[in-house]
Structure 1
């Protein structure tokens, strides 16, 4: 790795993740090899999942904050660091590692990942934010919740809600496929979708997704054109009105060939507001939230200073 000036490093760690002790030792050794100060370690808890610890680390003078855990820990630490200018790095230790996979921060070579976290190229990337209302158009929006890869409302979120914990413990992210297969033939849902300043449109959609990155662990690119640093969200309305449309969807995802027959409507936006005809669950990077009457997805452009392998940002 290239030489870099010493940085004060804090690692926000999920203490229950497999491999966390090895990751701690690797970070301590990497800082020692680089003649940097010893890293500070702070643990997440159920009540404090990473965001507060990240903000406290910044206030205490940390110059680089490393998230060591799964997608939930990474997402929360990112939210705590967004807009601060403090550098952010990821050592993925979760099941799906969606964000790390999209940016080629691969799990499996722990020593290399830790040293890349310390010495990788700094790039400015976007953060997605979601806020909810219990009833459409009534009352203030909730506080923002972060997402780094993609968020959705509709049948995809129901898929996440109904994924069996027993399968997740045995199969990891493959468990979502089992739940997804059970939902493929469910009817589309009536929703009102407002993209940026355009007039709201009434649609029937299986799901509406907002993406900051494009790829899910199966290798399928849900958003082939998504860029993590362009200040826009990729918006997908899956208007699946007949089971045969799923063949077009599969072909598009696997072979990256756009087809009008798939029923997939793509846009790019800074904000999208979705109002379903009935309360629906929402998912953020594969984590489910209770049914809501209205959801707003928006982007916080280039708000994170993320350390990455060289050449991993396309724009």
Structure 2
């Protein structure tokens, strides 16, 4: 993991009430339009008429028609332990049309486990034979290694992208990421930016039979609360959840983080086995993706777009 330490040094330079979201009438000045989802493509899945195929096609259409400014890929792109051939033969077939606006994070296990499946970063940089296109962030920054943090401004919003994998593979590096996160958010907050963080394994989440909350991520959550991050995005659970604006003590508070867990990209869905009080909306019967409209004043609209199933969720959070 010494290589990641070098990467971190390089990267370091780099009210709970809701109301229905208004109908979209196209982009307006000061608005950023985003689509987001994780947990996308199953093993050897390449058919268009699958949940993954429908999601990939729907988001690719938004990209082609310039209806979104960014697609945030929240980890677990291709199951089960993907290498270049898997990304090229399967993920590209269904999701390739999203890559030109893709900002990504890698997850532990399915995207990256050292010594087993280390190709996602190469794929995103256009280095896998047969898939020369680079993801949007790679076009802007060049090669980004699995586990490397980065941040990006979208209008008046500052997004941080973190890999959850170091908490699994190297806690020393996870703590180094925590320090990097604190410095990055400090600088963005000083510039008056509204703050958001994307990472794969959720902290604010209901249990399933396979996963509970990622309690080891608590140092990140403490830093996010310190800087009053307004929005977080994660995946992993194979269902959909939205929290109240929540603080680092699981309390609903006016200036808390609205945490979206969107892992409905196409892999099989899982039911919930617990009911945290901070979760305001959830379902596990529908594949689809989240659309966000972010405004310069810190307000935002959300809308879950179902592509296989009928559950949805929409609303508005007012400016701070």
TM-score by length of 2: 0.23
Structure with more of its chain in strand, by fraction: 1
Bigger CA radius of gyration = 1
